[in-house]
């Protein structure tokens, strides 16, 4: 027997209510994507900073030239618009912070090694193969050997730094991220 206090309203039965669990899940996924982007940018900044130190050391030995960053400016068609070396370096840092970490995050499980810094080592080696030609400035003899060695070590340092930040930030408790 139906309770006399219950009122059946067909409009209420057909009305769909938003499930708060679904909304929270979508927010968590969006927040997670944003948080992963911040982790990638942080790792890229650390890696690029470490790489810059190695390149500056190479410059002090005469096997790398900061003027090579002007190449990046001309690649994107900004020569004459901004100071070429400065703009090239800013673009270099931005590339190290955004697209390369994104690519690393996508490929790291397919790279050799059990830990992210090891994955980063191999990733840095792969990136070096393009850098070495793009930033080549006519070195010969020992300067060429030094250029190859310094840029390779710089990319190893970038990859290991990037991987170390990924590993550190991905193993922290969820409440801290």
List the chain pLDDT tens, one digit each, 177 residues. 555 555 565 555 555 655 555 555 655 677 777 888 888 999 999 999 999 999 999 999 999 999 999 999 998 999 889 999 999 999 999 999 999 999 999 999 999 999 999 999 999 999 999 999 999 999 999 999 999 999 999 999 999 999 999 999 887 766 444
Domain boundaries, the chain: 55-176
pLDDT, position 33: 76
SS3 state of residue 158 = helix
Phi–psi pair at 63, nearest 5 degrees: -115, 5
Residue found by looking up tokens 């009122």 in the block: 7
Q: How far apart are CA 74 and CA 22, in angstroms?
A: 48
Q: Give residue 175's pLDDT.
A: 40
For 80, list phi and psi in degrees, rounded to 5: 85, -15
């Amino acid at each position: 027997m139906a309770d006399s206090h219950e009122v059946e309203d067909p409009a209420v039965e057909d009305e769909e209510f938003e499930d708060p669990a679904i909304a929270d899940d979508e927010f968590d996924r969006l927040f997670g994507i944003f948080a992963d982007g911040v982790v990638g940018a942080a790792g890229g900044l650390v890696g690029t900073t470490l790489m810059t130190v190695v390149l500056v050391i190479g410059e002090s030995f005469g096997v790398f030239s900061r003027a090579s960053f002007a190449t990046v400016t001309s690649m994107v068609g900004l020569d004459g618009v901004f100071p070429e070396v400065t703009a090239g370096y800013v673009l270099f840092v931005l590339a190290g912070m955004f697209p390369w970490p994104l690519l690393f995050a996508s490929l790291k499980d397919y790279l050799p090694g059990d830990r992210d810094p090891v994955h980063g080592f191999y990733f840095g080696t792969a990136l070096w193969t393009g850098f070495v030609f793009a930033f080549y400035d006519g070195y010969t003899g020992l300067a060429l050997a030094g250029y190859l060695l310094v840029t390779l070590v710089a990319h190893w340092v970038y990859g290991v730094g990037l991987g170390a930040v990924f590993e550190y930030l991905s193993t922290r408790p969820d409440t801290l991220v």
